[in-house]
């Protein structure tokens, strides 16, 4: 064999799993070319040993408004230490691949700041950073494929020992099918009495074993909620179905604040779960434990609860998204290995190849084909369950901004949810898993819903703080809680004024919580002009020329500026596509106009506001 090839370290920071997926792909492609690769999460890597690495590829995602994944935060704090110096990484070659969404203002912010910091510490870049974009027709892979080819060629030029046979000589896919990273153990049934377990313990056990667990993801729900109200807010003729849901706590009550977020674990369609189990020839009644195989490159993190088995069907229901999420490209690669029909094998190998990437994207992601649908399209494939546990996308809790106030609605949680449905390019109707499940529930069913509470991007404001709120569509949800809370506070002590800008398509059909806002805008209410505030509406489709919230903000330029001068904080919530940047542009114009300064000065002024915690955005796609 000669001298052992050089080793590549792939460090990843992932919030939802995409960066892990990309990191594993880079590792697999390196090993296919004869270069050993180690794939490690940044929260499991000793940052002080970084100078001893020869070649490192970083794969990092950017979440929300430029936020880094939780698993990256301690690593990043270490890199920011002043005592590290500009020669600390002078022996290290590196490259960065970022995953982001160009619909957000701070597109790939984490990758960009990491790239600059590594360079400042003396590291040498192998190739220019790659920036994967969710908006690309093929998703982040549209950038990753050509970026990887460039990476292999440049590494080979630096040192041919990375790829002893050259960067283009690859082991055929059929020969490098790995062992799965997880091992399933089956247990005899007589020792287990699942009916004695509390529901939260079952959920904790299943999700604690799941490979889908990411950084410090709490397996056990904070509590359970029960729906008490399911009301349609939009009127007949609207293009949307937006609901107001009310819940009450079952057993324990969790304290939350306005602006907080609640995550719900949705239930999957029982008949689809049964169809998946039958298609994969799995025994739903068998008892299993799931644990990582001991391999150097497993990249596994999180607590593993393996001592008490769980029913296989329960594990699938609670951890594996077989009915709504589309599988990754590697799923098709592994399927090709297990296909017994030649035409299916060829098609799957094509889908898994760089040449087939766009066709796979059109077949899979664009159509949002579920794992079950893909398996049904390739009937000769019978994948072992340990591979399915690794490759089926994890069932993720869905996050929603809370639209109630614990002061105004004690022991309750309210949500404002748009029921997601769309038509695919092949004219198939798809529905959002969680929103359509919620819409189907009734209070009479008394369904227990597992939930987790956490802080969002909108800190609860003190009552003395003037507010400028911008919340078109369901972006109004958190501000319903803000206004309800401040109205209660106003009964006993002075409160600061609030301006609220709301927008929707049509006044008659889409005006969410109309009575609530209008009652607070009248007669000395929280949004009344007598109280120094105001309520401003933009109905985009009610006139020939579209009017959006940013137009109404510009119309109120003087009042907005005066409130900012009085120390107001700005809160923006809603769709991430264009709205947050359009609102920022309108505010830049106002600051520039009212101060007589340039656009650049205005932009710096708003950035300083953001840094001081007075400009907060919560956006979702």
Binding-site residues for NADP(+) sit at 474, 540-541, 546-550, 582
Q: How far apart are CA 374 and CA 331, in angstroms?
A: 10
The edge-to-edge listing of strands for the beta sheet with 615-620 is 534-539, 498-504, 467-470, 569-575, 615-620
The tally of CA atoms less than 13 A away on the side-chain side of residue 333 is 19
Six-digit token string for 320: 């594996």
**What 3-state class would DSSP assign to 383?**
coil
| Cα separation, 388 vs 394, whole angstroms | 11
Torsion of CA 375, 376, 378, 383, to 10 degrees: 30
Q: Is the separation of the CB atoms in 263 and 221 below 8 Å?
A: no
Measured in degrees and rounded to the nearest 5, phi and psi for residue 14 equal -130, 140
Pick out the residues of the known binding site for FMN: 14-19, 61-64, 134
User: Is residue 367 a contact partner of residue 424, using CB atoms and an 8 Å limit?
Assistant: yes
Chain mean position to CA 151: 28
CA–chain centroid gap for 33, Å, is: 32
Please list the helix, strand and coil fractions of the chain in percent, rounded to the nearest 5, in that order: 40, 20, 40
Q: What are phi and psi of 36, to 5 degrees?
A: -65, 145
| Helix-helix angle 312-319:270-279, to 10 degrees | 120
Binding residues are 14-19, 61-64, 134, 368, 398-401, 432-435, 474, 540-541, 546-550, 582, 620
Please spell the DSSP secondary structure of 152-203, one letter per residue: HHHHHHH-GGGSTT-TT----GGG-PPPPSEEEEEE-GGG--GGGS-HHHHH
Task: Decide if 556 contacts 527 (C-beta within 8 A).
Answer: no
Residue with tokens 């729900």: 221
- In the annotated binding site for FAD, the residues are 368, 398-401, 432-435, 620
């Amino acid at each position: 064999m000669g001298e052992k090839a050089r080793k590549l370290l792939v460090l990843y920071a992932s919030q939802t799993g995409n960066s892990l997926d990309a990191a594993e792909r880079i590792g697999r492609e390196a090993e296919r070319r004869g270069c050993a690769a180690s794939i490690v999460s940044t929260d499991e890597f000793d940052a002080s040993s970084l100078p001893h690495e020869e070649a490192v590829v970083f794969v990092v995602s950017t979440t929300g408004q430029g936020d880094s994944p939780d698993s990256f935060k301690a690593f990043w704090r270490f890199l920011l230490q002043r005592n590290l110096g500009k020669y600390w990484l002078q022996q290290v070659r590196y490259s960065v691949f970022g995953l982001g969404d160009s619909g957000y203002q701070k597109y790939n912010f984490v990758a960009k700041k990491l790239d600059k910091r590594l360079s400042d510490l003396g590291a040498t870049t192998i190739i220019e950073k790659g920036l994967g974009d969710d908006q690309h027709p093929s998703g982040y892979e549209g950038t990753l494929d050509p970026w990887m080819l460039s990476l292999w060629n440049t590494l080979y030029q630096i040192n041919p020992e990375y790829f002893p046979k050259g960067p283009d000589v690859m082991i055929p896919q059929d020969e490098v099918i790995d062992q799965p990273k997880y091992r399933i153990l089956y247990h005899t049934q007589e020792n287990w009495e699942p009916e004695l377990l509390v529901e939260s313990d079952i959920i904790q056990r299943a999700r604690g074993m799941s490979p889908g667990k990411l950084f410090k993801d709490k397996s056990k729900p904070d509590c359970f909620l029960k729906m008490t109200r399911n009301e349609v807010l939009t009127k007949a003729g609207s293009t949307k179905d937006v609901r107001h849901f009310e819940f009450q706590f079952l057993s324990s009550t969790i304290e939350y604040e306005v602006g907080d977020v609640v995550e719900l674990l949705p239930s999957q369609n029982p008949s689809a779960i049964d169809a998946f189990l039958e298609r994969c020839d799995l025994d739903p009644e068998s008892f299993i434990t799931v644990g990582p195989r001991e391999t150097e490159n497993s990249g596994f993190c999180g607590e593993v609860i393996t001592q008490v088995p769980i029913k296989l069907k329960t594990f699938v229901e609670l951890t594996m998204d077989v009915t709504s999420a589309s599988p990754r490209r590697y799923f098709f690669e592994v399927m090709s290995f297990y296909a017994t029909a030649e035409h299916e094998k060829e098609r799957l190998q094509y889908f898994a190849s760089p040449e087939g990437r766009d066709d796979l994207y059109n077949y899979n992601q664009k159509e949002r084909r579920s794992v079950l649908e893909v398996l049904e399209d390739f009937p000769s494939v019978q994948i072992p369950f340990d591979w399915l546990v690794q490759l089926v996308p994890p069932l993720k809790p869905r996050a929603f901004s809370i639209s109630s106030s614990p002061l105004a609605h004690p022991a309750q949680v309210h949500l404002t949810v748009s029921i997601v449905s769309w038509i695919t390019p092949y004219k198939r109707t798809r529905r959002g898993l969680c929103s359509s499940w919620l819409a189907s529930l009734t209070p009479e069913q008394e369904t227990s819903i597992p939930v987790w509470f956490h802080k969002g991007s909108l800190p609860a404001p003190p009552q003395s703080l003037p507010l400028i709120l911008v919340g078109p569509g369901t972006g109004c949800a958190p501000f319903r809680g803000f206004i309800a809370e401040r109205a209660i506070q106003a009964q006993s002590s002075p409160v600061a004024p609030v301006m609220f800008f709301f927008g929707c398509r049509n006044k008659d059909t889409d005006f969410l919580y109309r009575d609530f806002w209008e009652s607070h805008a009248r007669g000395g209410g929280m949004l009344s002009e007598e109280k120094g505030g105001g309520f401003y509406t933009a109905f985009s489709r009610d006139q020939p020329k579209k009017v959006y919230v940013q137009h109404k903000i510009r119309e109120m330029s003087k009042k907005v500026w005066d409130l900012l001068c009085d120390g107001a904080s700005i809160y923006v919530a809603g769709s991430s596509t264009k709205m947050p940047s359009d609102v920022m542009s309108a505010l830049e114009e106002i600051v520039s106009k009212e101060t007589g300064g340039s656009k650049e000065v205005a932009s710096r002024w708003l950035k300083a506001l953001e840094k001081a915690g007075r400009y907060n955005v919560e956006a979702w796609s």
